[in-house]
């Protein structure tokens, strides 16, 4: 009888994309290996006064109020020497928590969809205090210095271009795997149903934290007569939900409003296009559903890199807020342009989470073959 194996997918509650990718991997482990267990854990402490909560709150405040400062910090941290300093600070800050987690849970392997837990595990492995396989899953279309580690056993990345960038940072090419970004199975299942598109339906999302100026987007797009109705998903941002709820009766177009929902695949399937900030997970879900994107309010750093990548691919248009209404109107009026964008959404990397799980189990097999 095969031993029961335990896996933990560690994320961080800074944005929802990392957590959604982690859930997709856990879902696939349970489906392909039902005798084994997989749990998603938020690595950040729930203690409001802890260092990591301070980091999280500072990060979100900078994104919302001081994006220029965040952009400067992001750019500086990409510098190898400054980036190494930030890595060391985070590694030592999270080291004790990772050590306690490993002792309490005794996992057979750890998977990371965020660099914070990865940096602590990398330090413990360097010290010889951790010996299990460590697999990093990068969920953006760009690489950040915080993801560059010498003691992770494998990396899963969205594209071949990113694989080459990671290798250029000194990570052995043999441990870098191009898998795409993992999304939940509901998106593949919904795509197979080929849902009927509702002409003039525009889906508006602001990411899981709702940081997307959703009310401003609604007001601008309400002037576009080619729109028939809006579907709005505000994520975990309660104030954004309340603002849209109070606004929608004053708009010309009907608004179907949701906060956090598990029906995103369905809404993407019936929409004409999506207006969103370029979080990589939301955009990968849209790619899977063949849904053209208008990207706006890109946060500095990786979201801007995501936007540039998707615009170059041809499946998205990256605009400033002043260009938003005219761009959406033009896409809705021009079926040929929209169809080209749909075609550029493909080819979709089928079952990315399945590829990641296969890589994980191959790592375990390789570990068994290692001499004692």
Residues of the chain with CATH 3.40.50.2000: 6-181+350-369, 185-344
- The confidence score (pLDDT) of residue 49 equals 43
% the chain with pLDDT above 70: 85
What is the pLDDT at residue 167?
Answer: 95
pLDDT of residue 125: 95
Confidence of residue 48 (pLDDT cuts 50, 70, 90): very low
| Residue pointed to by tokens 């576009």 | 224
For the chain, what's the residue count? 372
Q: Which of 79-83, 225-229, 318-322, 363-367 has the lowest mean pLDDT?
A: 79-83
Checking if the pLDDT of 355 tops 80, the result is yes
Dihedral of the CA atoms 227, 251, 64, 322 (nearest 10)? 50
Architecture of the 6-181+350-369 domain: 3-Layer(aba) Sandwich (3.40)
Match 């095969």 to its residue by tokens. 2
> Does domain 185-344 match CATH 3.40.50.2000?
yes
Instruction: Give the residue from 286, 258, 251 showing the smallest Cα distance to 270.
Output: 286
Average model confidence (pLDDT) across the chain: 87
Distance of CA 306 to CAs 141, 142, 159, 161, 367, Å?
Answer: 5, 7, 12, 13, 35
User: Is the predicted pLDDT of residue 15 greater than 70, yes or no?
Assistant: no
pLDDT in tens, 180-191: 999 999 999 999
Average pLDDT for 195-212: 80
* Model pLDDT for residues 239-289, shown as the tens digit of each residue: 889 999 999 999 999 999 998 888 999 999 999 999 999 999 999 999 999
Report the pLDDT value the prediction gives residue 348, as an integer from 0 to 100.
Answer: 76
Please state whether 210 falls in left (phi above 0), alpha (psi between -120 and 50) or beta.
left
Per-residue pLDDT of 100-125, as tens digits, reads: 999 999 999 999 999 889 999 999 99
Lowest mean pLDDT among 78-82, 342-346, 363-367: 78-82
d(CA 78, CA 163): 17
- State yes or no: pLDDT of 291 exceeds 70: yes
| pLDDT at residue 298, rounded to an integer | 86
């Amino acid at each position: 009888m095969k031993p029961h194996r335990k896996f933990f997918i560690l994320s961080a509650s800074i944005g929802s994309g990392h957590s959604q990718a982690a859930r997709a991997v856990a879902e696939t482990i349970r489906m392909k290996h039902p005798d084994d267990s997989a749990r998603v854990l938020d690595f950040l402490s729930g203690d409001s006064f802890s260092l990591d909560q301070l980091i999280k709150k500072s990060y979100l405040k900078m994104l919302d109020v001081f994006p220029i400062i965040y952009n400067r910090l992001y750019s500086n941290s990409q510098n190898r020497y400054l980036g190494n300093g930030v890595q060391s600070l985070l590694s030592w800050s999270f080291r004790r928590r990772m050590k306690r987690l490993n002792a309490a849970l005794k996992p057979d392997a750890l998977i990371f969809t965020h660099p914070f837990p990865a940096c602590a595990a990398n330090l413990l492995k360097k010290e010889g205090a951790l010996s299990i396989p460590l697999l990093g899953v990068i969920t953006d279309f760009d690489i950040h210095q915080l993801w560059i580690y010498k003691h992770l056993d494998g990396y899963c990345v969205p594209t071949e271009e990113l694989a080459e960038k990671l290798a250029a940072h000194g990570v052995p090419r043999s441990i870098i795997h191009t898998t795409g970004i993992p999304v939940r199975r509901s998106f593949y299942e919904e795509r197979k149903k080929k849902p009927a598109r509702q002409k003039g339906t525009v889906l508006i999302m602001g990411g899981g934290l709702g940081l997307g100026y959703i009310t401003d987007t609604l007001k601008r797009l309400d002037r576009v007569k080619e729109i028939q109705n809006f579907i709005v998903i505000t994520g975990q941002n309660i104030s954004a939900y309340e603002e849209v709820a109070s606004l929608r009766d004053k708009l010309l177009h009907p608004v179907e409003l949701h906060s956090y929902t598990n029906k995103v695949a369905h809404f993407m399937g019936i929409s004409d296009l999506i207006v969103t900030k370029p979080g990589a997970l939301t955009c990968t879900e849209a790619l899977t559903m063949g849904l053209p994107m208008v990207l706006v309010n890109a946060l500095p750093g990786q979201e801007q890199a995501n936007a540039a990548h998707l615009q170059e691919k041809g499946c998205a248009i990256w605009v400033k807020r002043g260009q938003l209404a005219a761009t959406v109107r033009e896409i809705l009026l021009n079926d040929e342009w929209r169809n080209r964008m749909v075609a550029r959404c493909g080819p979709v990397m089928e079952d990315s989470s399945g590829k990641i799980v296969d890589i994980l189990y191959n790592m375990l097999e390789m570990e068994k073959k290692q001499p004692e």
